[in-house]
Structure 1
Amino acid sequence: MAELNGEPVSADQLQALALTSYGHFTSMRVEEGGRVRGLSLHMDRLKRDCQALFGADLDTERVRELARRAAPSAGSTTIRVTIFDPNFDMGHPGADAEPHILVTSRPAAHVPLPPLRVQTVKYTRDLPRVKSVGLFATLLHRRSAQLNGFDDALFVDDQSVISEGGTWNVGFFDGERVIWPDAECLVGVTMELLKRAHEHEEATLRLPEVQDMQAVFATNAAIGVRVISGIDETSYPESHAILDTLRKQYTEIPGDVL
């Protein structure tokens, strides 16, 4: 499914998005009955990012109405809501914007997914706290990691401070505490829900400090909690009680109806 403001979208309407990659989005795993964990957080993100990129208010009730059209009658699906202006002009990006709502859907992944092995790369996304459609560098680093025999990339800065993965947050367990990196990153909905569900700490984490962690995991709305079994040449357990606990706590979070 692909609809723009509730109508079938044409190639011409997507031209500005394809040629400029200026816009923002959120992706939601929608379960049977149209339920979404952290729905209000997804809507808050869209509203906040619309102000940041377009200086415009977003009608989140309208967003929910349009996304509801793609909700499954049975099973699960992943719905992406993208906000962009089909009339965006590269030469005049400061002009008044009229953001539109693009809703697309794809089959939801079967979870839990197999463990990830990730390669670190020195990179910080532009405007990290905005979930922008500009994924060029993220995909470039993912591609490079895969060509090097890994599954994905984990971002660090010049001081080896860990921030996030390309499309996911990263968490650690040291044997006593769940620790989330205290770094500039996109605050994921799944991470935020897990912070509310499970006691945790936030800390500045550098690569040498995480080599002895008992468990490492990735989170986002599409994958839930996914094991990270390796960072560069350091291996981590593929199973741990804390991972089972976090998965259980996450799946038990009731979803809100679109």
Structure 2
Amino acid sequence: MTTTALAQRIEVDGRPATAESLLWPALVQTGHFTAMQVRGGKVRGLDRHLARLDAATRELFGHGVDGEHVRGLVRHILRDDITEASVRVYVHAPDGQPSHLVTVRPPTVLPATMEARAQSLRSVAYQRPFAHIKHLGGFAQARHAELARGAGFDEVLLTGPGGEVSEGAVTNIAFFDGTDVVWPDAPHLSGITMQLVRSRLPAAGLPTRQAPVTLADLPSYAAAFVTNAWGVRPVRRIDDVVYGIDEKLMAAVAGAYEDVPWDAL
């Protein structure tokens, strides 16, 4: 995976960011965002990104979001010189009205092989509050992820009472029982990549269902994989439970994602 931690462009409501315009986002954590990968000036699942922004803005601030306005803001910050990028659109409401902060970073590219993409996860007893919103202020999940990486893992698996599996810190997870792909039904963020993949798996010969999954259930599954804005990756292990990389499964999952059309901004 290649990326960078620093934003190369930041705009607030279509204007270059200033110290003044960044003061509210820096000090107030009430807000939400969506993250997308841009290729050739296009985005997969653009309608879902816009719907996410609209729904969360209505819930948090009582206002809707104009999707065409958001598209215009993203086009504006990319201009004519950036066609490949990682873009985030944040929504705050410093004066009671939605304000959009847009950042641009270089694109994230996953390794070509599933072997190189494989993830190891460490389970932690934590669930994101208001998990259905991609909200700000995720200190706990970020700290758990840092500690997991320090212990030799790639990511964390968030769990609730009784070891109920919900999601990763920045991923959704699915399990394969040899026939069906099972998505945990504990509180989680419905990721855009998860939505796109899940809707297309039945056509690829992989039935899907949502069901409770606990840590005690993990050895009963044949394989697992995670999804997020970067794409799909197999899971190599969770704690002491080791999974083989099911190349046939991952080819079907990756193929379902690759078949998603790109939407022009």
Asked if TM exceeds 0.5, the reply is: yes
Deviations 1:223-258 (A, max 9, x none): 210111110111111342111111011011111111
Specify the alignment match of 2:87 in structure 1: 79
Aligned mates of 1:73, 1:170 — CA distance in 2 = 35
Aligned mates of 1:118, 1:52 — CA distance in 2 = 32
Q: Which runs of 5+ in 1 are unaligned?
A: 88-96
Specify the alignment match of 1:18 in structure 2: 26
Q: Residue 194 of structure 1: CA displacement?
A: 1.0
Matched, 1:228 2:244: no
SS at 2:178 equivalent: coil
Matched, 1:153 2:156: yes
Specify the alignment match of 1:98 in structure 2: 97
SS at 1:246 equivalent: helix
Deviations 1:160-209 (A, max 9, x none): 11000111100111111111111111001111111110121111011121
Q: How does 1:12-51 map to 2 (within 5 A)?
A: 12-32=20-40, 34-51=41-58
Specify the alignment match of 1:119 in structure 2: 122
Specify the alignment match of 1:185 in structure 2: 188
Question: What residue identity is the alignment partner of 1:138?
Answer: Q
Q: How does 1:204-215 map to 2 (within 5 A)?
A: 204-215=212-223
Aligned mates of 1:11, 1:141 — CA distance in 2 = 31
Q: Residue 75 of structure 1: CA displacement?
A: 5.6
Kindly indicate which of the two structures has a greater share of residues assigned to helix.
Answer: 2
Aligned mates of 2:81, 2:260 — CA distance in 1 = 20
Deviations 1:99-135 (A, max 9, x none): 2111101111112462211110111111110110212
Aligned mates of 1:78, 1:70 — CA distance in 2 = 12
SS at 1:129 equivalent: coil
CA RMSD after TM alignment: 1.6
Moved more, 41-50 or 145-154: 145-154
Moved over 3 A (4+): 70-75
Matched, 1:5 2:6: no
Specify the alignment match of 1:92 in structure 2: none
Aligned mates of 1:208, 1:84 — CA distance in 2 = 40
Q: Residue 212 of structure 1: CA displacement?
A: 3.3
SS at 1:150 equivalent: coil
CA contact (8 A) 1:3 1:102 kept: yes
Question: What residue identity is the alignment partner of 2:159?
Answer: V
CA contact (8 A) 2:157 2:165 kept: yes
> TM-score, normalized by length of structure 2?
0.88
Q: Residue 137 of structure 1: CA displacement?
A: 1.1
CA contact (8 A) 1:124 1:155 kept: yes
Matched, 1:128 2:135: no
SS at 2:148 equivalent: helix
Aligned mates of 1:135, 1:53 — CA distance in 2 = 16
Aligned mates of 1:119, 1:11 — CA distance in 2 = 38
SS at 1:50 equivalent: helix
Matched, 1:202 2:201: no
Q: Residue 20 of structure 1: CA displacement?
A: 2.0
SS at 1:179 equivalent: strand
Aligned mates of 1:116, 1:58 — CA distance in 2 = 35
Distance change >3 Å, CA 111–CA 75, structure 1 → 2: farther
Specify the alignment match of 1:108 in structure 2: 107
Q: Which runs of 5+ in 2 are unaligned?
A: 1-8, 203-207
